[in-house]
Structure 1
Amino acid sequence: MPPRPSAFSSTTKSWWPLRRRAIAMPSPANPDPMMATSVWVGVMLLVLLGTRYGLVATASLHTPDRSDSHTGCPVASRTPRLAPEVRRAQLLDTTLDLITEEGFAAVSVEAVARRAGVTRPVIYDQFGDLDGLMVALLDREEAAALQPLLAIVGEDQGDDVDPEAFLVEAVETFCEAVLAAPRTWRLVVMPPRGRSPELEARVTRSRRIVVERVAALLHWGLVRRGGPLGLDAELLARVVVACGEDGARLMLEQPDRFPPARLAALAREGLQLLPADATPAGAPRPTLPDLGPPRPSAAPRPEPDPADPPPAPARRMPQAERRRQLIGVALDLVAAEGFGALTMEEVARRAGVSKVVVYRSFANVGVLLLALLRVAERRTRTTLEGLLPTDPAGRTPAVLLGEALASLLAAAEHDPPLWRLALLRPEQAPKAVQAVIHRRRSALARDLRPLVRWGLQGVGARASGVDVEVLTRLLLSAGEELVREVLEEPRTPADEILEKVWTLLDRLPVGD
């Protein structure tokens, strides 16, 4: 007997039956059998499609707090399709939020994608890679910070403009621009954790552009106002820009306490302290105190030549002496190359010892950094406390400020590495160092306030409305910027800085 044919074809590999199946006919129990079959097929298709797509969509809609299985971080729901320019702005905002909250080290394509609720290819399509994303963000924030400043100081002023009114209006406009874009200005004047060489370079370049515009504006204003003439407009511009940055920090830290109107009022009142017709009093200029020869910096040791014989082991030191030596090496390293260069290996190489010796003194680089900051803080505090005379009687405000500046400039020339560390700009300093500098400046401002109040009383009635708290803070900013002139390249000798500043101080009025 021939074999019974199979229900399915083995030659065509088709799942269609060879035998004709019996077709169900309508009956009272099943009036429309084809409809029942269609419903059953539709249900099966929905189940299959739901298994592949529906459950994923349901999970993303109903479990927004689910977390990544590898990192444990919450995964955002996928966002709807957006226009390219809208998506670009969203990703830049997300990156800025991530930097502000967690620092530069937290930024990655994966972190930004997870936070924005998109896949990584979306970011690659927009920016190419992580570097492209960061450059685009810095481009946007640099423009957001720089354009309002150039709008304030970039235009030529006409002959009918009152320079004093213009200055007050410019200060208030700048303050309002800071408060209108707080995240942008925090990135500039109060950088988050981590280090971004690109951000440092852009802030430095933008600061240089603004200083040049402000210097030209000051030259115009002094001539238009009628004096006082003979001032160094470029040096004064650097001081003005430094005070502006510090004023921005005050507003960002305590916007209710330091509104734009308060800082603009200080500009208005400060102009009264320096009348256009002020003439030099002819008082002798304070001299720089002699602090001895500058403290020598530890020269970096050259890389060893493999062909050279091994060096002789360093002499054994007591633990306290070894710690002081290593802290001095670390101070020179940070002052010369920044905090990014501070590693246990580099400190050991420069000190001419093995890494084991460094680790015996400091458990890790964080402990070494903390010890370095404590030593630097103690030494700078001792110097700064010596600037405040216990009895200012017999001195004019000009002499008081001149003597304090002379002592500070001499201290910076005597120990450049220490003061480079103490006066690091915010974009160059880690968050821990920023906190130390902030505490030191706040304490010094409190100690200096009674002295400033005494000096204003010596000026007379014209200084009765000056805001002592804000003026004290900005005087500190001015002093720090003048010291940077001595430390940063191209360096200006301390005696030359003091001479230029004394040209201004000697014009301060005394009494009424």
Structure 2
Amino acid sequence: MTAEPASPGTRPGRTPRLPRTARRFQLLGAAREVFVAQGYHAAAMDEIAERAGVSKPVLYQHFPGKLELYLALLDEHTTQLVTSVQEALASTTDNHARIARSVRAYFDFVNDPSGAHQLVLESDLRSVPAVRQRIETAFAQCVRSIAATIVADTGLTQDEADLLAVGLVGLAETASRWWLVRGGTVAKERAIESMVELAWRGIGGYPRTDPPDSRPAHEEPRSDR
């Protein structure tokens, strides 16, 4: 998981002058806390500024309005999720491990104490085109990354691979959110293992297409992956 903006907390007085990048980091941390706790519509710029220990003019110097602040957080956390999935796929050539690490990326994302997943997976602002576009783009990027791996390893058509990838992303997202809402009544490692095996028993049935000349002449084709 990528580093999160530090939790500034509420404190009396104003914070000392900071470099612009550090100030932006601080403001995003304060805004995330307020948006996660209250949702977009109930959140107020006054409260975000107070949480960060700055004046409203300072907040507006960095973000023209509440929507721009929300979009900046959304950009940060959608990128975090997509990067985690892509790194999971690139971390090994073992497909069972790829599935396990991709599913884990979703469980880690929803289990982060910051609650940032609510902005991406449970946003109360999906009716706004800019928000919907970012969320849908993140979903599509995860699907494309998984589908590309499926095509390379199985020789399925792009359309078939896309469908399988959508199913895997949907499984990981829905299961991880359900697991969190239920309070982790199933141990996290067990929950991930269960979802991986559910996915693997299906996708593992597709024959792997090995690149030409990738096996020694005496080696028989593998029936599993």
| Fold match (TM-score > 0.5) | yes
The amino acid of 2:117's aligned partner reads W
Hey, what does 1:344 align to over in structure 2?
Answer: 45
Shift of 1:300: 5.9
The amino acid of 2:108's aligned partner reads A
The amino acid of 1:298's aligned partner reads S
Say whether residues 1:354 and 2:51 are aligned partners. no
Deviation by residue 1:365-411 (Cα, 9 ceiling, x = unmatched): 2332232233223333322321222662xx2x444312321243234
Shift of 1:351: 1.4
Unmatched 5+ stretches in structure 1: 1-290, 303-310, 458-462
The amino acid of 2:81's aligned partner reads T
The amino acid of 1:449's aligned partner reads A
Larger radius of gyration: 1
Hey, what does 2:136 align to over in structure 1?
Answer: 438
Kept after mapping to 2: 8 A contact 1:339/1:429: no
Unmatched 5+ stretches in structure 2: 206-222
Of 166, 171, 174, the match for 1:478: 171
The amino acid of 1:338's aligned partner reads G
Instruction: Tell me how far apart the structure 2 counterparts of residues 351 and 434 of structure 1 sit (CA, whole Å).
Output: 27
Deviation by residue 1:43-100 (Cα, 9 ceiling, x = unmatched): xxxxxxxxxxxxxxxxxxxxxxxxxxxxxxxxxxxxxxxxxxxxxxxxxxxxxxxxxx
Shift of 1:507: 4.2
Query: How is 1:5-24 mapped onto 2 (pairs within 5 angstroms)?
Result: none
Q: 1:326 to 1:300 in 2, by over 3 A?
A: same
Q: 1:413 to 1:505 in 2, by over 3 A?
A: same
Query: How is 1:381-420 mapped onto 2 (pairs within 5 angstroms)?
Result: 381-389=82-90, 392=93, 395=94, 397-414=95-112, 416-420=114-118
Q: 1:442 to 1:491 in 2, by over 3 A?
A: same
Q: 1:334 to 1:471 in 2, by over 3 A?
A: same
Instruction: Tell me how far apart the structure 2 counterparts of residues 370 and 334 of structure 1 sit (CA, whole Å).
Output: 11
Instruction: Tell me how far apart the structure 2 counterparts of residues 316 and 451 of structure 1 sit (CA, whole Å).
Output: 47
Instruction: Tell me how far apart the structure 2 counterparts of residues 381 and 329 of structure 1 sit (CA, whole Å).
Output: 23
Query: How is 1:87-166 mapped onto 2 (pairs within 5 angstroms)?
Result: none
| Equivalent pairs, count | 203
Say whether residues 1:499 and 2:196 are aligned partners. no
Instruction: Tell me how far apart the structure 1 counterparts of residues 197 and 73 of structure 2 sit (CA, whole Å).
Output: 38
| Partner SS, residue 90 of structure 2 | coil
Deviation by residue 1:120-169 (Cα, 9 ceiling, x = unmatched): xxxxxxxxxxxxxxxxxxxxxxxxxxxxxxxxxxxxxxxxxxxxxxxxxx
Q: 1:335 to 1:320 in 2, by over 3 A?
A: same
Shift of 1:361: 2.1
Q: 1:507 to 1:403 in 2, by over 3 A?
A: same
The amino acid of 2:88's aligned partner reads L
Shift of 1:469: 2.2
Say whether residues 1:424 and 2:139 are aligned partners. no
Shift of 1:484: 1.2
Q: 1:327 to 1:402 in 2, by over 3 A?
A: same
Of 147, 151, 156, the match for 1:453: 151
Tell me the C-alpha RMSD between the 2 structures: 3.4
| Partner SS, residue 467 of structure 1 | helix
Deviation by residue 1:314-355 (Cα, 9 ceiling, x = unmatched): 222122211111111112222222111332111012112222
Kept after mapping to 2: 8 A contact 1:449/1:469: yes
The amino acid of 1:496's aligned partner reads R
RCO higher in 1 or 2 (8 Å CA, sep ≥ 6)?
Answer: 2
Of 369, 394, 400, the match for 2:70: 369
| Partner SS, residue 387 of structure 1 | helix
